[in-house]
Amino acid sequence: MYFTGIIIAFMTFLTIGIWHPIVIKTEYYWGTRPWIIYLVVGIGSCVAALFIANIYLSSFLGVFGASALWGIGELFSQKKRVEKGWFPMNPKRRHTAAH
């Protein structure tokens, strides 16, 4: 039996699951300003995946990079969810609200 696909699927599931709270915490503490960090990390991870022969590490970096890039959009969506009151706003950053 070959477990490669199942292992990669599990890594993908965990990676995406980890990015969800990262995006929420990033928006809570720093707003959308760190989007550029997500961009650099995402592109860097995807490029690194192209040069790594190990299928597991390459797959992880590709999924991690794609999740970071997807996280940029989610960061801005999270800001809107906070503005709608669906998530708590950081009281120390209340002045950045669009009210």
Retrieve residue 46's tokens.
Answer: 């995807």
Exposed / middle / buried, residue 53 (Cβ in 10 Å: 0-12, 13-18, 19+)? exposed
**What are the residue boundaries of the structural domains of the chain, listed by start?**
8-86
Structure confidence by residue, pLDDT tens digits, 66-93: 999 999 999 999 999 998 989 888 888 7
Exposed / middle / buried, residue 26 (Cβ in 10 Å: 0-12, 13-18, 19+)? buried
pTM, full prediction: 0.86
Structure confidence by residue, pLDDT tens digits, 16-47: 999 999 999 999 999 999 999 999 999 999 99
